[in-house]
Structure 1
Amino acid sequence: MAADLVISGGRLADSAHGGERIDVIVEDGRISAVVPAGEASQARRTLDASDAWLMPGFVDIQVHFRTPGGTDSEDIASGAAGAAMGGVTACVMMPNTTPTIDTPDMVRDVLALAAGAPCDIRTSAAITTGRTGERLTDFAALYGMGVRVFTDDGDCVADDTLMEAALAATVGLPGSVVSQHAEDPDMVAGGVINEGLVSRRLGVRGRPAAAEVSVVLRDIELARRTGGRYHVLHISTADAMELVEQAKRTGVAVSAEVTPQHLVLTEDDVERLGTTGKMNPPLRLRSDVAALCRGICDGTLDAIATDHAPHHASLKDTSLRDAAPGMTGVETMASVIWSELVATGVMSPARFVEVVSAAPARIAGIAEHGHRVEAGMPANLAVFDPAQRWTVRADELQSRSRNTPWAGRELTGKVRHTVLAGRPVVSGGELCG
């Protein structure tokens, strides 16, 4: 009897198999066997993975698909399409929507809109009601709806007592985590870009690195005190990363993610990119970029997440001071990281898989994704061509918005196929109908 799907001739990226060529046989949404290349039996459908890496599908644990309330900039359909094109088989939406995702009913409604999407859509929920920083949401009820990530993303929970209570709540909710946008709101009030030479040259108020460091320092101590799980969203400074490293050595349950843009771009790029280069936390110094690159390669930092933040042109076509902060990135993540770190020999293919798939899945409690490519595992997979060169064109990406910082940049490496629960959703670099 023919299998549902065979992915033929790819190489496994994990170090245990040394890049050997294999065929992966998929039946009923799961990997039924992994055999040497050419040994798979007939299948109803075959995907060619020759000269490519076969990996677990990528997992992006910080995306803004602007549903509800901001669908002029993005919606779940366009966001999920971009994710699938980028090899992302699961992602976690942020709750800074209008209205805020802060109740079980809101979670239910948003997930209903995601049914049938070409990516496994999960959602986080707010730490505080309406993200106002005044009262905790009902963690237990939201957890019962499948929420594992609690965050007021975009707003820091500044109140010590509330943040301590939120971290304490994770102790009784296995697999849950509090994710913090770590910038002290008083220190960054009115800030536009990184506080430094460029902000002074452009005549705008800066957002100091100390604002991130102070929050991470406080939150680590609260996590230590409560035993709760703490995750730093889009870390941007070398000093904050050092605090995370120290905390890990002493047994604190802390993890941290970094975005592709914070691994590549600096405050100097803001002058070139204009409002597209504005985000929170801001692009920092070359020394921060170098430190964060070391950290993501040596394991100090845990995962890469994009903070995919699409904005309608009307929100970006204004002054740097008034423009909305954020950049798109879910579709380009894998190619940017491969180009900048793997193709240059700084990061191994195995470490790449860890930081874009396995680790983010663990952090966000997404059990069906991020597994090794082996028999019995869910067939959530990406086939990545490491040699394909392509140039990013904003109007050719799936997002409804055009605020990509990579426009015009030639990248090395591109997703060829994406398989979700055993079903091809991208084939030959094209979305499947």
Structure 2
Amino acid sequence: MAQLIIQNVRLIDPEAGTDTLGALSITDGCISARHDMATPGEAAERLVDGQGKCLAPGIVDIGVKVCEPGERHKESYGSAGLAAAAGGVTTMVTRPDTTPNIDSPETLEFVTRRANEAAPVNVVPMAALTKGRAGREMTEIGFLMDAGAVAFTDCDNVVADTKVFSRALSYASSLGALVMAHPQEPGLSAGAAATSGKFASLRGLPSVSAMAERMALDRDIALVEMTGARYHADQITTARALPALERAKSNGLDITAGVSIHHLTLNELDVADYRTFFKVKPPLRSEEDRVAVVEAVRNGLIDVISSMHTPQDEESKRLPFEEAASGAVALETLLPAAMRLYHAGHLDLPTLFRAMSLNPARRLGLPGGRLSVGAPADLVLFDPDTPFVMDRFKLHSKSKNTPFDGQRMQGRVLATYVAGHAVYKRSD
């Protein structure tokens, strides 16, 4: 007898690319059976009626910043875990850009212990590629892998020294480690608050050309070709970078790419009257770039959609636009923002969950992201159609810096399951 059956649901299967009515049986934290009928005859200890709503693999979110250690007032593992559960994120892949940086096995073991104690969802950590994320000396990649690091990144601190980066890629390649990079040419992008163009000029904002992304990606691709490393670009946000990415994949290089939900659903004009909640890194792009990147997700050229959850307190955001900190919280807004792409007809639900669940899980060697028998029962039950107005003060994150505050959105998470246990249930 199954421990739990979730029946009468639309099964969003990113692996098969299907959206069909059915049910799932769950036993011992894993999917034990999949039914093509809405109400299977199998007995279960607990029965959940999905009422025709959508059931999909839980989101695997690469690039979540949790501010432990050092800045717990911005975000803790407890608050981030609650926000993730409320947003349908069942696995947070956390960044090492904390204070201090996660660049030693001791620090990594500390945050892993804190995450296991406080977060109701799965947490898998990334570690820094270089010590102090300073770009001068690589970390102990092998020891950090043994301690649980699933990837290595200096986040938005680009390793400018090509020799250092090539050595790090070579060493990572010998160990089979995944390196995640931020493709922005550091000299051109330093101090930029907007993307070059008419809008930035009219607003008098320091800007960076979209070519900075293309130039950095070209360098990284050449080094990947030289070293044979496994490489993931955290955010590809411009049309100019896409041909280089396509060539690299066609040449058989082990390269994947991601994009944040903000760059898929917002553009540079949303900054409007210097609204700092829209200041992210890299800066929001033109509408032409946004459309090109959405198409790249649709055709599979861009593999992963992530939140790039970056909490910032009020003091760091309530500043002139040029001086304000970059970043936005997005664990809870990732799914409803993605529904904008679904309702606009740009991406169907299996494609969205391929990029939010299946592909990131595969890239990191995690078992989730699937609805097949034997997969972990990390699931999200959601209604893609429910309308609501976003209120940032109702978010579970300690920081409230979301660009979607006050906006009309669609899509509500109804329940989130980790290993078959409900870690979130919507009460209203």
TM-score by length of 1: 0.94
CA-CA distance at 1:153 after TM superposition: 0.3
Instruction: State how far apart, in whole Å, the 1-side matches of 2:242 and 2:17 are.
Output: 32
Q: Is the 8 A contact 2:278 2:328 kept in 1?
A: yes
Asked if 1:142 corresponds to 2:144, the answer is: yes
Residue 415 of structure 1 is matched in structure 2 by 413
Please give the per-residue CA displacement for 1:288-337, whole angstroms capped at 9, x wherever unaligned: 11110110111111010111111010110111111110111111111111
SS at match of 1:23: strand
1:2-17 matches, cutoff 5 A: 3-14=2-13, 16=16
Asked if 1:399 corresponds to 2:400, the answer is: no
- Any unmatched runs of 5+ in structure 1? none
- Amino acid corresponding to residue 9 of structure 1 in structure 2: N
Q: Is the 8 A contact 1:107 1:145 kept in 2?
A: yes
Asked if 1:29 corresponds to 2:25, the answer is: no
Asked if 1:385 corresponds to 2:378, the answer is: no
Q: Is the 8 A contact 2:307 2:330 kept in 1?
A: yes
SS at match of 2:85: helix
Instruction: State how far apart, in whole Å, the 1-side matches of 2:384 and 2:53 are.
Output: 6
Q: 2:127 aligns with which of 125, 128, 137?
A: 125
1:147-186 matches, cutoff 5 A: 147-174=149-176, 176-186=177-187
- Amino acid corresponding to residue 300 of structure 1 in structure 2: L
Q: Is the 8 A contact 2:17 2:350 kept in 1?
A: no
Asked if 1:369 corresponds to 2:368, the answer is: yes
Residue 360 of structure 1 is matched in structure 2 by 360
Q: Is the 8 A contact 1:168 1:227 kept in 2?
A: yes
CA-CA distance at 1:196 after TM superposition: 2.3
Q: Is the 8 A contact 1:143 1:173 kept in 2?
A: no
Aligned-pair RMSD on alpha carbons?
Answer: 1.7
- Amino acid corresponding to residue 166 of structure 1 in structure 2: A
- Amino acid corresponding to residue 348 of structure 2 in structure 1: S
Q: Is the 8 A contact 1:199 1:206 kept in 2?
A: yes
Instruction: State how far apart, in whole Å, the 1-side matches of 2:155 and 2:346 are.
Output: 31
- Amino acid corresponding to residue 349 of structure 1 in structure 2: L
Instruction: State how far apart, in whole Å, the 2-side matches of 1:262 and 1:58 are.
Output: 18
Asked if 1:187 corresponds to 2:188, the answer is: yes
CA-CA distance at 1:198 after TM superposition: 2.6
- Amino acid corresponding to residue 19 of structure 2 in structure 1: G
SS at match of 2:100: coil
CA-CA distance at 1:135 after TM superposition: 0.2
Residue 262 of structure 1 is matched in structure 2 by 263
CA-CA distance at 1:47 after TM superposition: 2.7
Q: Is the 8 A contact 1:273 1:405 kept in 2?
A: no
Please give the per-residue CA displacement for 1:183-231, whole angstroms capped at 9, x wherever unaligned: 1221122222222223222223112222211110000000011111111
CA-CA distance at 1:419 after TM superposition: 0.4
Instruction: State how far apart, in whole Å, the 2-side matches of 1:312 and 1:403 are.
Output: 7
1:294-305 matches, cutoff 5 A: 294-305=295-306
Instruction: State how far apart, in whole Å, the 2-side matches of 1:92 and 1:59 are.
Output: 7
**Between the two proteins, what is the percent identity of the paired residues?**
34
Q: Is the 8 A contact 2:7 2:40 kept in 1?
A: no
After TM superposition, the structure 1 stretch with the greater mean CA deviation from structure 2, 12-21 or 72-81, is 12-21
Q: Is the 8 A contact 2:70 2:100 kept in 1?
A: yes
Residue 236 of structure 2 is matched in structure 1 by 235
- Any unmatched runs of 5+ in structure 2? none
Residue 307 of structure 1 is matched in structure 2 by 308
Q: Is the 8 A contact 2:17 2:351 kept in 1?
A: no
Instruction: State how far apart, in whole Å, the 2-side matches of 1:48 and 1:310 are.
Output: 35
Q: Is the 8 A contact 1:381 1:418 kept in 2?
A: yes
SS at match of 1:236: coil
Please give the per-residue CA displacement for 1:1-30, whole angstroms capped at 9, x wherever unaligned: 5x3222121121237585332221212111
Please give the per-residue CA displacement for 1:76-112, whole angstroms capped at 9, x wherever unaligned: 1111111111111001111110000001111110010
SS at match of 2:156: coil
Q: Is the 8 A contact 1:24 1:40 kept in 2?
A: no
CA-CA distance at 1:425 after TM superposition: 0.6
Q: Is the 8 A contact 1:198 1:267 kept in 2?
A: yes
CA-CA distance at 1:414 after TM superposition: 1.8
1:59-98 matches, cutoff 5 A: 59-98=60-99
Residue 279 of structure 2 is matched in structure 1 by 278
CA-CA distance at 1:273 after TM superposition: 6.0
Query: Residues 17 and 295 of structure 1: is their aligned pair in 2 closer, same or farther, counting only changes over 3 Å?
Result: closer
Q: Is the 8 A contact 1:4 1:43 kept in 2?
A: yes
Instruction: State how far apart, in whole Å, the 2-side matches of 1:21 and 1:168 are.
Output: 47
Instruction: State how far apart, in whole Å, the 2-side matches of 1:94 and 1:345 are.
Output: 32
Instruction: State how far apart, in whole Å, the 2-side matches of 1:137 and 1:303 are.
Output: 26
- Amino acid corresponding to residue 34 of structure 1 in structure 2: R
1:206-245 matches, cutoff 5 A: 206-245=207-246
- Amino acid corresponding to residue 110 of structure 1 in structure 2: V
Query: Residues 47 and 427 of structure 1: is their aligned pair in 2 closer, same or farther, counting only changes over 3 Å?
Result: farther
- Amino acid corresponding to residue 363 of structure 1 in structure 2: R
Residue 343 of structure 2 is matched in structure 1 by 343
After TM superposition, the structure 1 stretch with the greater mean CA deviation from structure 2, 28-37 or 388-397, is 28-37
CA-CA distance at 1:374 after TM superposition: 2.5
Instruction: State how far apart, in whole Å, the 2-side matches of 1:288 and 1:270 are.
Output: 16
